[in-house]
Chains A and B, each alone.
Chain A
Amino acid sequence: MSVLAQTPGPHDAAPAPRATAFDLRQFRVQHRRQDTRDTVTLTLAPLDGGGPMGFEAGQFTMVYAFGVGEVPLSISGDPSGGKPLLHTVRDVGGVTHTLTHLRRGDVLGIRGPYGQGWQVEDGVGGDVVLVAGGIGLAPLRPVLLQVLARRSDYKRVVLLYGTRTPEDVLFADELEHWRGRFDLEVEVTVDYGPPQWRGKVGLVTSLIPRAGFDPATTLALVCGPEPMMRYVGSALVDRGVPPDRVRLSMERAMDCGVGLCGHCQLRELFVCVDGPVFGYDRIERLLWLREV
């Protein structure tokens, strides 16, 4: 099938088909929330009169800052139908600098959603473990919202989160709320801690041996910097989680978003269409290869 005619999204639950994969919709910034010193969450509403953009947790869009450029961004909002589109953006370069400085009422362009999602439903009936590093918490937020909306479908739910410093903790208010729930285990660790920090300091991998989950029934979803995902994937498998039940969301330089330009190619895989979410059993050998 031509990728140009392909309906974005891998599953039946994905959003309604659109004319082509290159359609650009305009969205207006409804709300801007400063999450940390360099990260904001934008709430976006379509200008074309169409409905909200449906998506599967783990999918991404190509976000265009007019006159500046386009970047792939994971969707951080609630995947249940009818909710506004949310993107959490970190200021790390030219395009993201523009996006993080948009104000209410500003307009941007969006293509998508694209890519393979987490397929959270595979975790029904077992434990779900989310391991996030830094901004990697944003693509896992939709998973947690989806799981919590159908909490009784899952057994233990665990969120393990590592970031740089206490000031870099993303979604701090929500983390505090989630931590207060009796049916959710949330552990946070930072790389560097000031003396007043009472939480954990150390690698996110150090949280895995002590976390309360049954490896045999666990679906583990991991998102963060690639070295972190290598260590976490390995630690989860060491703990006994089957490799095909460990999934990683890969980050590569996606430019077209639809498998044409090849910029995100990882050997035979196109991260934008084959991923960004991959099973550890499929991606592990590539994680250890240099220069791919």
Chain B
Amino acid sequence: MTASIEGTDLHHALAAHCFTRTLSPSFVDRIVEHAALRRYAQDDVLFREGASATEFHLVLEGRVAIETHAPGRGSQVVDTVEPCETVGWSWFVPPYRWLFDARAVTDVVAVTVDAVALRGLCENDPAFGYALMQQVAQVMLERMRSARVRLLDMYGTSTR
């Protein structure tokens, strides 16, 4: 697939994106077959908490909010995802359901990848699956570190 948005080449975009740029070219080629460039308008919802995780997004432009909703408190943004970052890792881990909402804070251009097809490729080719798992684990690690450090509420504590 060589679809483009405003001159963006899908293959080039994936080769340059932080999630895929360290993968071998043949692995990137396989992902390209199951990916498409998409544009999301400000406040478009990319996915909802609890929904089946059938695709994920590699952000090229714009900002996506990861948020959750609490009765009486409304929505709370727990993270934002920027260019060269990845929206979603629940597609990789059973039961393949989103844990948070994802909403475009600005207009967003992203590579949207068919997660169901990618899971199938991982099942059939352990080398591809391992390479992809390392990338997803990196995303999970960063998100976990971010969440844990913010739990410290560093800016809220002092003494005198």
For A181-197 the 0/1 string (1 means CB < 8 A from B) is 00000000101111101
B159 near A92 with CB under 8 A, answer: yes
Contact of B26 with A by CB under 8 A: no
Contact of A203 with B by CB under 8 A: yes
Specify which of A92, A201, A203, A227 is in contact with B65 (CB 8 Å cutoff). Answer: A201
B77 near A193 with CB under 8 A, answer: yes
A231 near B77 with CB under 8 A, answer: no
- List chain B residues, Cβ under 8 A from A200: 63, 80, 82
B76 near A194 with CB under 8 A, answer: yes
Contacts A198-B106, A200-B82 known; A192 to B76 CB distance under 8 Å?
Answer: yes
B150 near A203 with CB under 8 A, answer: yes
- A192, B145: Cα distance in complex, Å: 15
Contact of A279 with B by CB under 8 A: no
A168 near B155 with CB under 8 A, answer: yes
A191 near B158 with CB under 8 A, answer: no
- List chain A residues, Cβ under 8 A from B155: 133-135, 162-164, 168, 191, 224-225
B76 near A202 with CB under 8 A, answer: no
- List chain B residues, Cβ under 8 A from A224: 154-155
The smallest beta-carbon distance between A165 and chain B, in angstroms, is 9
Contact of A94 with B by CB under 8 A: yes
Contacts A92-B159, A92-B160, A225-B155 known; A195 to B74 CB distance under 8 Å?
Answer: yes
- List chain A residues, Cβ under 8 A from B74: 194-195
A71 near B80 with CB under 8 A, answer: no
- List chain A residues, Cβ under 8 A from B157: 225
B149's nearest neighbour on chain A, judged by CB, is A203
The smallest beta-carbon distance between A189 and chain B, in angstroms, is 8
- List chain B residues, Cβ under 8 A from A225: 154-155, 157
- A7, B36: Cα distance in complex, Å: 66
- A69, B65: Cα distance in complex, Å: 45
Enumerate B123-160 residues with CB–CB distance to A below 8 Å.
Answer: 142, 145-146, 149-150, 152-160
B153 near A94 with CB under 8 A, answer: no
B150 near A191 with CB under 8 A, answer: yes
Where chain A touches its partner, the secondary structure class is mixed
Enumerate B88-141 residues with CB–CB distance to A below 8 Å.
Answer: 105-106
B160's nearest neighbour on chain A, judged by CB, is A93
B43's nearest neighbour on chain A, judged by CB, is A195
Specify which of A96, A164, A193, A228 is in contact with B76 (CB 8 Å cutoff). Answer: A193
The smallest beta-carbon distance between B150 and chain A, in angstroms, is 5
- List chain A residues, Cβ under 8 A from B49: none
For B56-85 the 0/1 string (1 means CB < 8 A from A) is 000000010101000000111111101110
B156 near A164 with CB under 8 A, answer: yes
A225's nearest neighbour on chain B, judged by CB, is B154
The smallest beta-carbon distance between A256 and chain B, in angstroms, is 15
- List chain A residues, Cβ under 8 A from B160: 69, 71, 92-96, 253
B145's nearest neighbour on chain A, judged by CB, is A203
- A26, B83: Cα distance in complex, Å: 52
Contacts A210-B82, A227-B154 known; A195 to B67 CB distance under 8 Å?
Answer: yes
- A202, B66: Cα distance in complex, Å: 10
- List chain A residues, Cβ under 8 A from B80: 189, 193, 199-202
For A57-100 the 0/1 string (1 means CB < 8 A from B) is 00000000000010100000000000000000010111110000
Contact of A119 with B by CB under 8 A: no
For this complex, 23 residue pairs linking A to B, each with C-beta atoms less than 8 Å apart, are A69-B160, A92-B159, A92-B160, A93-B159, A94-B160, A133-B154, A135-B155, A193-B76, A194-B74, A194-B76, A194-B77, A195-B67, A195-B74, A195-B75, A195-B76, A195-B77, A200-B80, A201-B78, A225-B154, A225-B155, A225-B157, A227-B152, A253-B159
Closest 7 CB pairs of A and B: A134-B155, A193-B77, A225-B154, A195-B75, A92-B158, A93-B160, A164-B155
A192-B150, A206-B82, A210-B84 given; name 8 further pairs at CB < 8 Å. Answer: A95-B160, A193-B80, A195-B65, A195-B77, A200-B80, A200-B82, A202-B80, A231-B149
